[in-house]
Structure 1
Amino acid sequence: MPLVDVVKEGKQDPAKRVNIVSVRLVRESSILYEKRCIRSPQDAYELAKSFLEDKDREHFIVMSLDTKNQPVSINVCHIGSLNASLVSPREVMKAAILSSAASIMVLHNHPSGLTDPSNEDIKVTKRLVEAGNLIGIELLDHIIVGDNTFNSLKEKGYI
């Protein structure tokens, strides 16, 4: 019911309590990265493979980078099923925004070990590029991790 109608009828709903909140990024742990910055899909794969190899379900991670392409955070954004993971641009960008990222790389595994991108992988990549353009956080690459190998969607021309 519109507010105008409520006032006209002389009825007023009870007051609504509005929470005052703060948003924080919580560091769960850290890892030491010797190379300091990401210069290639291979570098990103080397950093993230321990999060993604040998998983029985799809894991989708967001690697947030600063202006010098140094990783500042890694967030396991989604854990899916054996062959799918529902990826929401708002969840992907949430960790990036909280990490003050200049850019991001996203990576996920294919438990089958094969790294060919699915149609859904390509659609998600395009949606993340669009979302990143809107908020000023560039998607540098989307990397699919398989059995001791990876596939870069940027190198394949999807970004």
Structure 2
Amino acid sequence: MRDSHQQYVEFVRLKLIREGGFFTQPKVDSPEEAHLVFRQWAMEEMDREHLVVLCLDTKHRPTALQTVAVGTLDSILIHPREVFKTALLANAASIICAHWHPSGDPAPSLEDVKITNRLMKAGEIIGIKLLDHLILGAGDHFVSLQESGIMNKITASD
């Protein structure tokens, strides 16, 4: 019989469930290579914004890919906790995020820059580096926040 003043704590077990996959290049060392991986995920066919995280090992080899947030036609709620949950379970050394703009215009919004800043800070604290955040538009158009210098400006301003 439990004492009513005691708190009952459940035992839990966390497990990464692998659900299949697809073949990709052996390493992801550039925004163009990351873009090719995310395009295989068929993000362009999605009618709402989706944020996908690509987990990489210490040699930048892809190990896991997961959609971590689904939004509306023009917005998405992204929390670092959800992004890094997959990375932690997959034992990732670094991650690259991408999200699809259904409008077809890959230009980053102020919210895109703000969430990238939060992800960079969270990753720094837990030791999983955000290498890049890609915004995918129509066709083969995309913007790399790292390549465009936006992530460097974030780092420099903090």
Specify the code of the residue in structure 2 equivalent to 1:154.
Q
Gaps spanning 5+ residues in structure 2: where? 152-158
RMSD: 1.1
| Counterparts of residues 128-143 of structure 1 (less than 5 Å) | 128-143=119-134
**Cα pair 1:126 1:158 within 8 Å, conserved:** no
Larger radius of gyration: 1
Tell me how far 1:109 sits from its aligned partner: 0.3
- 1:90 is paired with a residue whose SS is helix
1:84 aligns with 2:75: yes
1:122 is matched with 113
Cα-to-partner distance string for 1:97-141 (whole Å, 9 max, x where unaligned): 100000000000000000000000000000000000000000000
**Cα pair 1:125 1:158 within 8 Å, conserved:** no
Tell me how far 1:15 sits from its aligned partner: 3.1
Cα-to-partner distance string for 1:24-79 (whole Å, 9 max, x where unaligned): 1111121111x200021111111111331121100100000000000000010001
Specify the code of the residue in structure 1 equivalent to 2:144.
S
**Cα pair 1:64 1:104 within 8 Å, conserved:** yes
Gaps spanning 5+ residues in structure 1: where? 1-11
Paired with 1:156 and 1:13, the residues of 2 have a C-alpha distance of: 58
* TM-score, length of structure 2 as denominator length: 0.90
1:156 aligns with 2:148: yes
Residue among 26, 36, 52 paired with 1:46:
36
Paired with 1:21 and 1:13, the residues of 2 have a C-alpha distance of: 22
1:72 is matched with 63
Q: How many residues align?
A: 147
Percent same amino acid at aligned positions?
A: 42
Specify the code of the residue in structure 2 equivalent to 1:66.
D
